[in-house]
A and B are shown apart, each in its own frame.
Chain A
Amino acid sequence: MTMMSLCRLTALELAGKLCAGEVTQREAVEAASARIAATQGTLNTFITPDGPAFPAADLSASPLAGVPMAYKDNISTRGVKTTCASKILGDFQPPYDATAVERLSAAGAVSMGKLNMDEFAMGSTSETSWYGSVRNPWDTGRAAGGSSGGAAAAVAAGQVWYAIASDTGGSIRQPAAHCGVTGMKPTYGAVSRYGLIAYASSLDQLGPIARSAADCAAVLDVMMGGDPRDGTSLDIPAGKLLASLSGDLRGRRVGIPADCFGDGLDGEVSRAVLAAAEVLKGRGAQVETFALPAVRYAVPAYYIIACAEASSNLSRFDGVKYGWRAEGYGDLNDLYCATRTGGFGREVKRRILLGTFVLSAGYYDAYYKKALQVKAVIKRAFDEAFEKYDLLLTPVTPATAPRLGESLSDPLKMYLGDVYTVSVNLAGLPAASMPCGFDAQGLPIGAQLIGPALGEQAVLDGAHAFQLDTDYHRRMPEVTL
């Protein structure tokens, strides 16, 4: 096979060829390296490329053993720079691996390095990175989405076969939608957060971005399961998602929240997502529309909670123990101010200030406490919906990928773009983003499938069924070099 045709395979297809001896591990890594070398300059997907010269994974370790992949740069990798795309962690090398990294390494994952992202995962376009913007492989004048833009673009462009990313308010699903790949955010607590550098601890969750729902299932089988190092991880056994994957949706009830198809949704996106519902019907699902008004309050509640937690989580980056420290400071307070002023980018500072404000004496009840109440209302609304439905189908984004630079000037508009994804994090639910079409400009459109807590199988079954009858997820962009 040519290198480029290797790059078009799914992770499971490549793993099959590795096992059959049709392709060597070294050829797979060289194909990835060559693709990265050819497209990195254009796409800026990697912060730290770090592929092995002599890959030697145990091919029997898991169904994905030996397949080259990469990690978002907020996931701790022992001895490998983990920057969160920030100047303040520019030289930080963790002395430990994240639990997910440990598990994937043991399963034979071959890391090609660390992927670009929005600084500290704060952003929806991967333009807030200290290391420059990620570009969308479908149109390099456009953003790849965020915050896991590097991960989605790398998988879309054929640089790696899958990537591990984090999702706090849509950071896996939204860039996956903008780049035409499949992404999955599991149930809160299903994957250990140990080693994920926190943005908003109560919402952060690790998950895969890949070229198919089946690939996502295979990755999640390795990552999921309780971890004694994360008190918020759920005591569940490692999954059997791939083995149980089924494209038969007979008897499955799919709800379409009418509130997700109102004002602000692009017509082409709306039509593509509703067309996806027809495909699911064709696989035996019963589809109906229902009302889910609670999601209207999700965006403000999300930004209050996420920023509040972020303001505390990011306090440790103070120039005292590790990372970048400003020079020429006077006293201790000056050291803190100069380091944090110079070390963080605009969007991160905006969110730290917002979070500090909503936790301040006199504002806590009006903002933070209120937001927690909204979170509880949203969770209840989803619980009620899942009494009637096995899956919910919504858009991932109101529109396809924006032009570079368009969003940064209007942060409020950028925040509102998260309307379909953030409620899922507030409710702690599993959800996948799957390619469901292209707009007139040839940009990918994503559809979101949401499941009940620990309903990963139902979500992946839905996406897998859809992908059995469509080929949007297999299309690859011609990257303009």
Chain B
Amino acid sequence: MIWETVIGLETHVELATKTKIFCACTTAFGGDPNTHCCPVCTGMPGTLPVLNGKVVEFAARAGLALGCEITRYCRFDRKNYFYPDLPKAYQVSQLYLPIARNGAVPIPGGRTIRIHELHMEEDAGKLVHDPWRDQTRADYNRCGVPLIEIVTEPDFRTGNEVIAYLEKLRSTLQYLGVSDCKMQEGSLRCDVNLSVRPAGSVGLGTRTEMKNLSSFKAISRAIVYEARRQIELIEEGGRVVQETRRWDENKDATYAMRSKENAQDYRYFPDPDIPPLELPQSYLERLRAEQPEMAWEKAERYQRDYALSAYDTEMITAQKALADFFEAAVALGTDPKQCANWIMGEVLRALSERGMEPGDMALTPGTLSRLIALVQGGRLNRNTAVKVFDAVFDQNGDVDAYVKEHGLEQISDPGAVATAVEKAFGANPKSILDYKAGKEKAFGFLVGQVMRELHGRADPKAVNEAVRAGLDRC
């Protein structure tokens, strides 16, 4: 039998607001335990939540960018359950009237993933288990950090589609500036709902939900594993149980966490402490008008206006920080093609050598622009320029000062080149004879000798021409 995999995603994204959703505590990642909290986010008796307007704005921006309808009159609900990382014993979320619904995200390959809903909620704290002392400690720093949860319809058929969607989602949210989407810091977390069915059938099979997926790689592998597990189970006459399963990265397998068959009753009801929100049409129109140019729009523009290749533009726009860098350099008058070449070559190389993100780079667009200008102006040759680039990259050093200090400026004086040619010819008479005998290799050797004489600072083209002319005269 041929099987089809059906996947839906629930993605939690931490919003990049400075303060928490219901109080003025910082949302900064890390910090000593219980130093980013106050009576409100730790649910002390008598305290009340006050909604952070930025959270609503960021959620609405995300909803608009994902093609959703925005719920003009939306509301928060309480999801009630007991757990020590949840100090109020309820999570403020949205069940009945989420802020955005019915969106659509086109992914590369031509398919479109439907968004069921996008809602706002507060994050819970963290429990730290200490097996040595048999203790569990609660850290409430993360309590009340704003999240949006984005729920798709079960529209994915392959892991590749899932990754393509997540990359698009991450890019969109980063371009909007509503989240940094760092999986390793937990600001983007994804649960995968997966079922299998005979190819061509319409109904859905029993699904499992996979958690603890901490990278795109883990998501891809978990999807492959879980689809195979379900198919084998069914083919052996078994039955898939609706349950939550945990992905174990080290063992490359999923394990049952809890069955959904005795699911908790969360007793959702509208939170009476938070008045319903009314989002005026004019407010939504303003947000729509302010929507920034997205990655794919930038890529198209770069191809159209700068005649860059599709591959280059995709690489440059994949991370907003890199696209911003490119545009700033071009705005300084740098040739876009040259600029793209440097980014695709040296910038990406330097970043990957250091394991850095573009956003964390010290190098400024101005510095790269200056370097490119020196090359284009004939004052630095390309190889020397790469050395200068590496020298200034980490500290954003001064290109001109470095060139001057190290005497790297290109030698373009024809007299100096001619002297060097004479010197090289005089020292290597055998090479001249070899060249005359038809050994082209000898030409390259002589060029190298001249360049050495000039400490590699000469324009290679000028040296080539001078050597050729000299040989012709011999």
Contact = CB atoms under 8 A, between A and B. Distances in A.
A and B physically associate: yes
Interface of A: 74-76, 82, 84, 89, 92, 94-96, 98, 193-198, 200-202, 228-232, 308-309, 311-312, 315-318, 320-322, 332, 336, 356, 359-361, 364, 368
Given A94-B46, A364-B267, 20 more contacts: A195-B47, A198-B45, A198-B273, A229-B50, A231-B51, A231-B273, A232-B272, A309-B269, A312-B90, A312-B267, A312-B269, A315-B88, A315-B90, A316-B87, A316-B89, A318-B89, A321-B138, A359-B80, A359-B269, A360-B267
13 contacts: A94-B46, A98-B46, A194-B47, A202-B272, A309-B272, A315-B82, A316-B43, A318-B82, A318-B89, A320-B84, A356-B267, A361-B265, A364-B269
A232 to B, nearest CB: 6
A315 B80 contact: yes
A317 B43 CA distance: 10
A89 to B, nearest CB: 7
Interface residues of B, number: 28
B46 A195 contact: yes
B265 A360 contact: yes
A393 B88 CA distance: 40
Contact of A321 (B42, B80, B268): B42
Given A315-B90, A320-B84, A321-B87, A231 B269 contact: no
* Chain B interface, DSSP helix/strand/loop, else mixed: loop
Contacts of A361: 265, 267
Contact of B44 (A94, A229, A315): A94
Contacts of A332: 84
B49 interface: yes
A364 B268 CA distance: 9
Interface of B: 39, 42-51, 78, 80, 82, 84, 87-90, 138, 265, 267-269, 272-275
Nearest to B138: A320
B45 A89 contact: yes
Contacts of B50: 228-231
Contacts of A232: 48, 272-275
Contact of A315 (B39, B49, B89, B138): B89
B92 to A, nearest CB: 11
A228 B22 CA distance: 12
A201 B44 contact: no
Contacts of B80: 311-312, 315, 359
What are the 3 closest A-B residue pairs judged by CB atoms, nearest first? A315-B89, A202-B272, A359-B267
B39 A96 contact: yes
Given A95-B39, A201-B272, A230-B50, A316 B267 contact: no
B45 A197 contact: yes
B44 A322 contact: yes
B49 A196 contact: no
Contacts of A89: 45
Nearest to A305: B272
A44 B267 CA distance: 38
A312 B45 CA distance: 12
Most buried by B among A75, A195, A309, A315: A315
Given A359-B267, A359-B269, A230 B87 contact: no
Nearest to B44: A94
B45 A316 contact: yes
Nearest to B42: A321
